[in-house]
Chains A and B, each alone.
Chain A
Amino acid sequence: MFRNVPNRKMSATPETLAYNSKVEGDVIVTRTDAVINWIRSHSVWPMPMGLACCAIELMAAAASKFDISRFGMEVMRFSPRQADCMIVAGTVTYKMAEVVRRIYDQMPDPKWVVAMGACASTGGMYRSYAVLQGVDRIVPVDVYVSGCPPRPEALLDAMIKLQKKIGQEASTQGLLKDRTKAAV
């Protein structure tokens, strides 16, 4: 975007004190964090952990009417190895909790979790012996979405919030951190 800056006289105007391609070439000065976060936040690959009716809204969010690809996160991967954001969409039973955690463990770092809907966030209306009361008991959750089920717009909003959150991370420090010991 800076390649075609028209040639200007080299005088100490505020304009030339800023970036000048004739002087600096194709160099952009920035922070590593900003670059890494910019890359990460604009290529979120979600892992659709669809467990109940929320998954239908998740599918709607990916379909043409709502079109999650506008925000660069349409590459839904059903293999945890190829995904970095688990969208837990639905009721997590105790029997399924094990699977959710294992799939989370199989996802490569860095990774994020969105708890979509009341059930994934708190157990929802299932105050029952069989249902995990909030997926944050077994995996660290970044964004919670209210609703039963949430509208696709609500999920899009959550994903944009997640992008903002990714944008604020200290990613450079994270590169050196031993994430295998990350606690829940």
Chain B
Amino acid sequence: METAPGFAKDYAYLMERESADCPSYLCPVGEILGFATDLRDKHGYDLLVDLTAVDWDQDSPRFMVVYHFLSSTGHDYLRIAVNCTDDESPEVPSLSEIYPAADWHERECFDMFGIKFTGHPDMRRILMWEDYPYFPLRKEFPLAGIETPLPAADIAEVTGVEAIPAPMMGGPFVAPSEGRVSESEPRAKDQSWTETSPKPPRQEAATE
């Protein structure tokens, strides 16, 4: 069975994307269902390894869904990207009929990015609670979070607790990529401010 890039020329709508590892193509949103069926049935890509999305922030199209397929016979990976139709309420056809693995991945993708997978049998949130009003991996969402009521109203009433923005205190917390591993504990990027001494206002970049 021929693996990508060999068969890619048979699909005129595919656009090659820059890639550091496996072959990567951009597929029009209308063709993804048929193409994925072909991948599974004709080209031996029998495993959907991963499904995620990219938020390109100001660019349009803003949301891109990225699939990773693996051919267990050809031992070959293939990356397919699909641009979502709409920047406000993005939609993509669901692959869960073709690859059952897509089911929960698509739910996670919906949970984090708000991308609707049309034709999905159970398009609910999977990580955050059902009434959560935001999509946390979108670019406009702060890492610390936004004040939100707890999922259970009665518990929130008894405890007086709600989901609050987490104290970042110089975060995000990263492990330095250089130096000895034993000394590369994750630490805040900017440790000049804490809970007691607040963050100084952002300095405007010096104009030249």
Interface presence of B165 (CB below 8 A): yes
Between A95, A126, A127, the greatest number of chain B beta carbons within 10 A of the residue's beta carbon is seen for: A127
A98 to chain B: closest residue by CB: B152
A-side contacts of B164, CB under 8 Å: 133
A-side contacts of B148, CB under 8 Å: 94
CB proximity of A26 to chain B, nearest CB, Å: 47
Please determine whether A133 and B159 come into contact, CB atoms closer than 8 angstroms. Answer: no
Please determine whether A98 and B161 come into contact, CB atoms closer than 8 angstroms. Answer: no
Interface presence of B167 (CB below 8 A): yes
Chief secondary structure at chain B's binding surface: loop
B-side contacts of A94, CB under 8 Å: 129, 148, 150-151, 163
Please determine whether B171 and A129 come into contact, CB atoms closer than 8 angstroms. Answer: no
Please determine whether B155 and A127 come into contact, CB atoms closer than 8 angstroms. Answer: no
Q: A95-B151, A98-B150 are in contact. Are A130 and B173 (CB under 8 A)?
A: no
Interface residues of B in 91-118 (CB under 8 A from A): none
| Contact with B166, one of A101, A129, A137, A138 (Cβ below 8 angstroms) | A129
Interface presence of B158 (CB below 8 A): yes
B146 to chain A: closest residue by CB: A129
B149 to chain A: closest residue by CB: A94
A-side contacts of B145, CB under 8 Å: 128-130
B-contact bits for A134-153, CB 8 A (1 contact / 0 none): 00011000000000000000
B-side contacts of A184, CB under 8 Å: 158-160
Interface presence of A81 (CB below 8 A): no
Please determine whether A125 and B173 come into contact, CB atoms closer than 8 angstroms. Answer: yes
Please determine whether B150 and A128 come into contact, CB atoms closer than 8 angstroms. Answer: no
Please determine whether B128 and A97 come into contact, CB atoms closer than 8 angstroms. Answer: no
Interface presence of A123 (CB below 8 A): yes
A131 to chain B: closest residue by CB: B166
Interface presence of B33 (CB below 8 A): no
B-contact bits for A91-109, CB 8 A (1 contact / 0 none): 0001101100110000000
**Can you sample 13 A-B contacts with CB below 8 Å?**
A95-B129, A98-B152, A101-B155, A123-B166, A125-B186, A127-B171, A129-B136, A129-B141, A129-B145, A130-B145, A131-B166, A133-B164, A133-B167
